[in-house]
Structure 1
Amino acid sequence: MRLKTLLLILVFYFSIVRAVAQESPYFQQTEIGVLRGKGPQNWDGSRTDRNNLSLHTFHGIKLHPKHVLGLSTGLDFYDQLTLIPIAIGWRGFLGKENKPQLVGGIDIGGGAAFVEKKTSTEWEESWYEGGAMTSAHLGVRLPAWKGKSALSVSIGFKRQEASYSYAYKNGLLIPPTSFVPTGILPRGYESLSETYYVFQSLFFRMGLMF
């Protein structure tokens, strides 16, 4: 399922590269890379290292030759779940346009768990939800030998929140990470537990700019 989703997104990303590149006011950046960080805490307090695949694309409008505002999205394949980040972003450039440039970027938004299926039976339900996301990076833009395309290399930090909910409909209680009192439970639920995740990652990405 994840491989098929990744391939579909890749086809979509690169199918719009030409259209975006034809319009001079527009800027597009697509990268693939790795999110490196610590996994959730284990029962003994330890944490394992994780290396997760990340696909990122940014589409913006050049308000100035060195400043771009736009929207970003992608796919982040964490160990527990897959999230689709959706954010408002800024890109800034330092250096001459036809020469290698330093690039800085900030993205602020959230992550959506659209690709995760909600499980539901007569007695129980479980689902994932995304949360707030912030990301900042520095990198370089290396112009190609012809045209406006360029190779990009980025390193940065990303913080992503998410949650997992498990609900019983028959009144059986489970040991929750945080327990929602009965008085504010969604209609039809007898008990509900929620586990919260905060993924803090250093990332390295490579891709193309247009």
Structure 2
Amino acid sequence: MKKTQILLVWGILNVFPSFAQEVKQDFFQKHPFVNITEFGTLLGRSKYETYNYYYRGYYPQPIEPQYQIQNRVNFALQTFNGIYLNKKTAVGLTLGIDSYGPTVLTPISAGIRRNLIQKKKSSSILLGSLDVGYATTWVNEDNTGYKTSGGIVICPTIGYKLPMRNGSAWLINFGYRYQRASYKQERTSDPYWYESNEVRNYRRMVIRFGIEF
């Protein structure tokens, strides 16, 4: 009985790894892995507060915030890693770094890439993509008295994929990026404490260049 059990366990330990390897190879043959790394610019206009408190004697008094508008050019880097569900559609996870002036956000998003139109097998492809997720502040550093929090991020784009002979492809994408972030300022250096809260909705046009492996 013991010999039978030992032989059974030995057989499972030898057969299962080879079976799992075959399943793994078969899965990635049907659903190949894909990496898309892109660098981009974020173009838009920002409204920011010039001040929202003034002092009367020793006490800070709240007033109506004053704003100014400025054109902004920000930069973004992201990498998409996933699998092809079929020849046209890939799903995966997008990790990026977005710079908004002194603020650096790290969005983590669920992403989808879809080949929309291709006239010939080796010709350029009209590509659509969508990323939806949440931006963290993992790599951001705040000044003393300030606290930055991330928020939802949504980024639909459309562009072109230019296939290469080795199976990789160059990409150029145009789209829209919405990023929400909040800022809190606390004054605690004197007896007259106050707190200021601001929510910013970054709306940017996106131009991204990248490569698919």
TM over 0.5: same fold? yes
Cα separation, 2, equivalents of 1:107 and 1:117? 25
Partner of residue 130, structure 2: 106
Give the one of 36, 59, 67 matched to 1:29: 36
Partner of residue 151, structure 2: 131
| Aligned positions of 1:45-84 closer than 5 A | 45-84=67-106
Alignment TM-score, normalising by the size of structure 1: 0.73
Residues matched between the structures, number = 167
Partner of residue 7, structure 1: none
Partner of residue 193, structure 1: 196
Deviations 1:40-59 (A, max 9, x none): 24556441100011112111
Partner of residue 141, structure 1: 161
Cα separation, 2, equivalents of 1:42 and 1:97? 52
SS of the equivalent of 2:76 reads: strand
Give the one of 169, 172, 175 matched to 1:150: 169
State the structure with more CA Rg: 2
Unaligned runs of 5+ residues in structure 1 are: 1-21, 175-191
Unaligned runs of 5+ residues in structure 2 are: 1-27, 51-65
Instruction: For residue 193 of structure 1, report the CA deviation from its aligned partner.
Output: 2.3
Alpha-carbon distance change, 74 to 61 in structure 1, aligned in 2, over 3 angstroms: same
Alignment TM-score, normalising by the size of structure 2: 0.72
RMSD in angstroms over aligned alpha carbons?
Answer: 2.1
- When you count strand as a share of all residues, which structure comes out higher? 2
